[in-house]
Amino acid sequence: MAKVTFRTERCKGCGLCVNACPKKIVELDKTKLNSQGHHPAYCIDETKCVGCAFCATMCPDCVITVER
């Protein structure tokens, strides 16, 4: 099982990771704002993550780390 880590304070909520995830388990957290005023991305179900790292590859700010 893969472990996905998001540095939410650096996330600008662009949504590129949301579109890149083949399992559709990455979403923007509409209930939270980071210190920059953006809705950060998060993984809704880490048990379904296959560790492809498409989300991390698409992130322009290197917010996401995927460990296999």
Domain extent at residue 41: 3-67
CATH number at residue 38: 3.30.70.20
Q: Determine what percent of the chain is predicted with pLDDT higher than 90.
A: 97
Confidence of residue 68 (pLDDT cuts 50, 70, 90): confident
Q: What secondary structure does DSSP assign to 7-24, as a single string?
A: -TTT-----HHHHH-TT-
Q: Mind listing the pLDDT tens digit for each residue in 32-60?
A: 999 999 999 999 999 999 999 999 999 99
- Domains contained in the chain, number: 1
Q: Which pLDDT value is given to residue 11?
A: 98
**pTM flag (> 0.85):** yes
Q: Which pLDDT value is given to residue 44?
A: 97
Distance CA 61, CA 49 (A): 21
Residues present in the chain in total: 68
Average pLDDT of the chain, as a whole number: 97
